[in-house]
Amino acid sequence: MHEIEPFEKWKGKYLPERDKKSPFYGKQYNEFECTHTIYNYLIHPQWDFFGANTLYLKVLFVDYLKQFAIIEFIGEWNDCIDNDIMFLKRDVIDGMIKEGINKFVLIGENILNFHASDNSYYEEWHEDIVGEGGWIVALGFRQHIIEEMMQADLNYYIFIHERFSNVPWRKYKPAQLIQALDDLMMKKLT
């Protein structure tokens, strides 16, 4: 797992450790020493800890003017035991919302498992942004995780669908990705 790095193509355009509005502002990265683990497996040092024991993230891009954030995840998303959504919402998302972010892309290609619990934090997140024209999209999640999220009724708060799993997001620039997702959602609504 230590060889799985967060997506780097946009790294020259946005660095959360240099963004004064980011919860990871000022963080120092050691490119050669892996210190974080998921179930005793070392992970690449570019992934950021945000309070969850088995889930790490990387804020790939934020545009405050266009009001969107793109976040990539690795590990096990476990709301049942560790309440990962609480840590994500309180320690990362709430600060972004205060800065005007209302569109969130959650990239889950490296999510291995999902364990649902209460959906109140998802509901709160949705309510915080929907009135502002915002949305949350689960992009690139594996089929079994999509099914688990749907069974937990998270599709009421997050756009979860197979069509989002197949979006070739790496070929886009960040603003183009947001536009492509907006277009997909409009097709879903019509």
* Per-residue pLDDT at 2: 66
Q: Report the pLDDT averaged over residues 13-23.
A: 96
> DSSP labels for 25-82?
TT----TT----EETTEE--TTSB--S-SSEEEEEEEEETTTTEEEEEEEEEEETTTS
Residue pLDDT, tens place only, 52-66: 999 999 999 999 999
Would you state the pLDDT for residue 34? 73
Percentage of the chain modeled with pLDDT above 90: 74
43: which 2 tokens?
A: 């992970």
Mean residue pLDDT of the chain comes to 92
Tens-digit pLDDT profile for residues 97-116: 999 999 999 999 999 999 99
Question: How far, in Å, CA of 64 to CA of 81, rounded?
Answer: 33
pLDDT reported for residue 185: 79
**CATH tag, 47-189:** 3.30.750.24
* Structure confidence by residue, pLDDT tens digits, 130-161: 988 899 999 999 999 999 999 999 999 999 98
Please give the Cα distance from 4 to 133 (Å, whole number).
Answer: 34
